Amino acid sequence: MATDKPESSSTPALPVPPPVDHVVTSKHKIRINGENIAYTVTCGTVVLKEDNEKDGNREADKARATMFFIAYTRDGVKDRAKRPLTFSFNGGPGSSSVWLHLGVLGPKRVKLDADGNAPPPPYQLVDNEYSLLAETDLVFIDPIGTGYSRMLDGEKVKEFHGYQRDLDSVGDFIRLYTTRNQRWSSPKFIAGESYGTTRAAGLSSLLQEKYGMYLNGLLLFSTALDFSTFRFYAGHDLAHVLFLPTYAATAWYHRKLDKRLQAKPLRAVLDEVEAFAEGEYNNALFLGDKLSAAKRSEIVKKLVQYTGLSAEYITSTNLRIQIHRFCKELCRDEHRTVGRLDSRFKGIDRDAAGENFEFDPAHTNLDGAYAGCINDYLRRELGYESDTPYTMISKLYMTWDFGSKDQHLNVAESLRKAMSSNPHMKVYVGSGYYDLATPHFASDYVLNHMALDASLAGNITKHYYEAGHMMYVHIPSLKAQAKHLRDFVKKAV
Give yes or no: residues 216 and 303 share one domain: no
Give yes or no: residues 322 and 292 share one domain: yes
- Domain-ending residue, one of 316, 336, 359: 359
What local confidence, expressed as pLDDT, does residue 15 receive?
A: 66
Confidence tier at 223 by pLDDT (50, 70, 90):
very high
Whole-Å CA distances, 71 to 19, 27, 221, 300: 21, 12, 20, 53
Q: Is residue 8 part of a domain?
A: no
What local confidence, expressed as pLDDT, does residue 415 receive?
A: 97
Residue 279 has pLDDT above 80, yes or no: yes
Q: Is residue 4 part of a domain?
A: no
Domain extent, residue 271, equals 234-359
Residue 60 has pLDDT above 70, yes or no: no
Whole-Å CA distances, 416 to 364, 370, 432: 36, 34, 23
Mean pLDDT of the region 21-27: 95
Q: Is residue 16 part of a domain?
A: no
Give yes or no: residues 196 and 59 share one domain: yes
What local confidence, expressed as pLDDT, does residue 52 receive?
A: 54
- Stated length of the chain: 493
Amino acid at 3: T
Give the total number of structural domains in the chain.
2
Give yes or no: residues 114 and 181 share one domain: yes
Cα 169–Cα 73–Cα 188 angle in degrees, nearest 5: 50
Q: Is residue 14 part of a domain?
A: no
Q: Is residue 454 part of a domain?
A: yes
HEC profile of the chain: CCCCCCCCCCCCCCCCCCCCCEEEEEEEEEEECCEEEEEEEEEEEEEEEEEEEECCEEEEEEEEEEEEEEEEEECCCCCHHHCCEEEEECCCCCECCHHHHHHHHCCEEECCCCCCCCCCCCCCEEECCCCHHHCCEEEEEECCCCECCEECCCCCHHHCCEHHHHHHHHHHHHHHHHHHCCCCCCCEEEEEEEHHHHHHHHHHHHHHHHHCCCCCEEEEEEECCEHHHHCCECCECHHHHHHHHHHHHHHHHCCCCCHHHHCCCHHHHHHHHHHHHHHHHHHHHHHHHHCCHHHHHHHHHHHHHHHCCCHHHHHHCCCCCCHHHHHHHCCHHHCCEECCCCCCCEECCCCCCCCCCCCCHHHHHHHHHHHHHHHHHHHHHCCCCCCCCCECECCHHHCCECCCCCCCCECHHHHHHHHHHCCCCEEEEEEECCCCCCCHHHHHHHHHCCCCCHHHHHHEEEEEECCCCCHHHCHHHHHHHHHHHHHHHHHHC
Q: What is the pLDDT of residues 354-390, one digit of tens each?
A: 888 999 999 999 999 999 999 999 999 999 999 999 9
Give yes or no: residues 243 and 339 share one domain: yes
More confident residue, 33 or 255: 255
Amino acid at 368: G
Give yes or no: residues 91 and 117 share one domain: yes
Give yes or no: residues 29 and 109 share one domain: yes
Confidence tier at 158 by pLDDT (50, 70, 90):
confident
Q: Is residue 6 part of a domain?
A: no
Give yes or no: residues 170 and 247 share one domain: no
Give yes or no: residues 241 and 153 share one domain: no
Q: Which residues contact 252 (CB under 8 A, 6 or more apart)?
A: 261, 262, 266, 269
Residue 17 has pLDDT above 80, yes or no: no
Contact predicate 23/46, CB 8 Å: yes
Q: What is the pLDDT of residues 337-363, one digit of tens each?
A: 999 999 999 999 999 888 889 999 999
- Domain-ending residue, one of 324, 359, 394: 359
> Average pLDDT, whole number, for the chain?
93
- Domain-ending residue, one of 359, 391, 413: 359
57-74 and 35-54: which strand pairing?
Answer: antiparallel
Confidence tier at 153 by pLDDT (50, 70, 90):
confident
What local confidence, expressed as pLDDT, does residue 51 receive?
A: 57
Give yes or no: residues 166 and 259 share one domain: no
Q: Is residue 1 part of a domain?
A: no
Residue 6 has pLDDT above 50, yes or no: yes
Q: Is residue 5 part of a domain?
A: no
Give yes or no: residues 53 and 198 share one domain: yes
Give yes or no: residues 257 and 352 share one domain: yes
CATH number at residue 394: 3.40.50.1820
What local confidence, expressed as pLDDT, does residue 14 receive?
A: 66
Amino acid at 221: F
